[in-house]
Amino acid sequence: MGRKADKVVVTASTTTSEVRERAQRALGQLPPFSPILNRLIASLAQEDVSFAKLAELIEKDTVLAGNVLRLVNSALFGLRGTVNSIRHAVSLLGINKLRNAVLGISVSRMWNQVKTPPGWSMANFNLHSVGVAILADLISQRMEVQYAEGAFAAGLFHDLGLLLLALGSQEEYKEIARLCQIGEKSRREIELEVIGMTHADLSAEALASWNLPDPIQIAVRYHETPDLDPTGTEPGIVTLSKVLSAADEYVRGIGIAPASFSGTPENDPQVLALLGLDDRLPGVLSDFENEFAAIKPYF
């Protein structure tokens, strides 16, 4: 008997709306935000947030407080003496560093409570997400980048759609993985073929439901296609989507991928050099290695 043709489980025309609905349901099934995470999300949306209150909330979360103190006392900051209070840690880290560290740790804790399907590695997903977040943030500190203050959050959430697919649309997720392993098309092409949209679209829609700022949603939506970003019109300003795209490709290139089928391209530092970092690139990579090594144990 001849070999049976490979069967495509689903088609875009019949599943796009269903996948979107399932993703929203999966988003609703994620563990509820902790008080600290609610405050952090509110701060990203530029609502009136007291960082004194933020410090107070951290102090009430014994595990989180311990992690923050371990981080601030790590070799990354090279401080003399030992920091024993969260308020002192806040003053040393600064608002942005504190928010990034606590956001990353809190989101990782939330996602680690999720029951994921066989073959999904939450550890790999978390490490990839925080790696992209750190690198995007470091790049944004050294260049003129649109909405640079949202770089860390954009990196942290850029692949959320992959998690929602794995949780809410397991058959479609398996089919995408199967076709990716065949290797005849790009993952983006396969996602469009199978579900009629991309995981980046799902990520952006999820962030909209969380009321994250529009620039973060846009950067996440176009992180695989930054040339299509409609906001990239200001001369001399790099779009956040372009920074996110480069950071994503670099982190996958060093072997830290969010899912087994997501691809690990050859590590090419040029992907960062093409942003125009010039002589700032070695400093970015050095800081990335140090920051990633310091926060990796929490993921």
Would you state the pLDDT for residue 266?
A: 59
Count CB atoms within 10 A of the CB of residue 110.
Answer: 15
Would you state the pLDDT for residue 160?
A: 95
- The H or E element containing residue 261 is none
Whole-Å CA distances, 247 to 39, 86, 219, 269: 26, 31, 12, 10
Q: Residue 295 in contact with residue 133, Cβ under 8 Å?
A: no
- What is the block-wise mean pLDDT of the chain (299 residues), using blocks of 10 residues? 44 69 89 84 72 83 89 76 83 79 89 86 92 96 92 95 92 88 86 92 94 94 95 86 96 86 64 90 93 86
Would you state the pLDDT for residue 1?
A: 39
The CATH homologous superfamily to which domain 12-29+117-298 belongs is: Hypothetical protein af1432 (1.10.3210.10)
* Burial class of residue 223 in the structure, from the number of CB atoms within 10 Å of its CB (0-12 exposed, 13-18 middle, 19+ buried): buried
296 token code pair: 């990796």
This prediction has a pTM of 0.88
Indicate the domain borders of the chain: 12-29+117-298, 31-113
CA 230 to CA 228: how far, in whole Å?
6
CA 66 to CA 123: how far, in whole Å?
21
